[in-house]
Each structure stands twice: as C-alpha cells, then as structure tokens.
Structure 1
Amino acid sequence: MRPDIVIPVLMGCALLWWIGRGMNWTMRLVVAGITLVVIMGILLLERSLN
C-alpha cells in the first residue's frame, strides 16, 4: 500500500480514538462506519478521476 493512503487513514483512526474516548460503543461504531464510508468515497473519486 502507498504511504499517501496509509498515513491519513492511521491519523484518522488516532483522531477517532481520541474523540471517541467519551462515547459509548454504539456511537463509536456509528462514527467509525461513517468515517469508513467517507474514506471509501474519497478513494473511489480519486481513482475515477485518474
């Protein structure tokens, strides 16, 4: 995998962990799911433009 994809994903996971410390597990799963959908959408958009 390319570092330009891996590093932002890892930073996003760290940010989610930091923000999610005060959330219950249901909200954490919802936020993680939304984040994954956004990341997949951005990756698909980038690949379609190239």
Structure 2
Amino acid sequence: MSKKPVKATLTTATIEEQTAAFLKAGGSVEYVGKGKSGQFASAGSKQIDLKSN
C-alpha cells in the first residue's frame, strides 16, 4: 500500500521568505495598474480557420 503524496501548502511565511529571497537575488517587482496586463503581446491575434478547402 502506497501513501498518497502530501501537497505542499503555501503559508504567508513561506511566501514572504520566497519574496525576500527573490528580491535579495536581484529580482524586481513591477507595478501594473488596475485593468492593465503585465504581459506583452508579441504577435497579433491567433485566430484559426476551421473551414478547410
């Protein structure tokens, strides 16, 4: 009989530790305004045509 894998739970402490480590390693946090996306569109829309000739 095998044991089920235990899911890691994120706590506020681990998130704060990870954030501190990220910033200490030279990472940066960028503010994104409300209603904006932090992702850049590298290409146009990706529409597909379901009608084949």
Q: Normalising by structure 2, what TM-score? A: 0.33
Structure whose alpha-carbon radius of gyration is higher: 2
- Structure that is richer in helix per residue: 1
